[in-house]
Amino acid sequence: MSSKPTIYHEKQVKELCALHALNNLFQQKGSYSKSELDAICSRLSPNVWINPHRSMLGLGNYDINVIMAALQKKDCEAIWFDKRKDPACLNLSHISGFILNVPSDYKLGFVMLPLRRRHWIAIRQIQGNFYNLDSKLEVPQLIGRSSELIAYLKEQLECKEKEMFVIVSKEVEQKHLWINQTLPNANDQQLANHSPAERIASFSTYDYNNRDAECLRITEVRNCVVSRENF
């Protein structure tokens, strides 16, 4: 009988789900710290009274720009996944993990407040199985093997309010090894015939003007380049 894997699972504190997702993704306590993410916020938007990349109170609520900059410090990249594509096109052997951005209810103690916030969740493979490492879960949730993961991702991405980022090494991103080169269905073939501008214009409907959405248009994300020399 195989032994149960040891899984690092950081629990939710304040609005630090992005920090928890990063540490859970790398399976190591202290892979990143709050002070490190705050420093990234300051470097992304220096000399401002209210930093647009985190909550006004400084409790967390970091946006995708902070996550991308943090990943780049470890020579990794976060690639926005176009939900019109079938997750079956993913080459899982070259993917380090996933980060989902999902809607989340907001609580004050035991009181549910009428606020809609965003929440970051890490998913990765551990000893052959994929796990949902959501910091709001009591324990990691077993998803299963590759086929179960693809089915799980398909189900998650059916929700228009959810977004997914594929986490890969910089080399994998540069060589496009994270995605299978063969197009699995007619929808993907149709996408391939579109120009980059047409693909961007037809992204899924999303409230990008809402600060709490924490997901930017892919053009904004791609243009957010943080020099490693500053870290």
Active-site residue list: 17, 119
Cα→Cα distances 115→103, 104, 106, 110, Å: 10, 9, 6, 14
Cα→Cα distances 171→87, 95, 133, 204, Å: 21, 11, 25, 28
User: Which residues contact residue 164 at a Cβ distance below 8 angstroms, ignoring those fewer than 6 apart?
Assistant: 80, 81, 83, 98, 99, 100, 101, 153, 156, 157
User: Which residues contact residue 165 at a Cβ distance below 8 angstroms, ignoring those fewer than 6 apart?
Assistant: 64, 67, 78, 79, 80, 81, 98, 99, 100, 101
- Residues 161 and 205 sit within 8 Å (Cβ to Cβ): no
Core vs surface per residue 33-55: b (16+ CB within 10 A) or e: ebebbbebbeebeeeeeebebbb
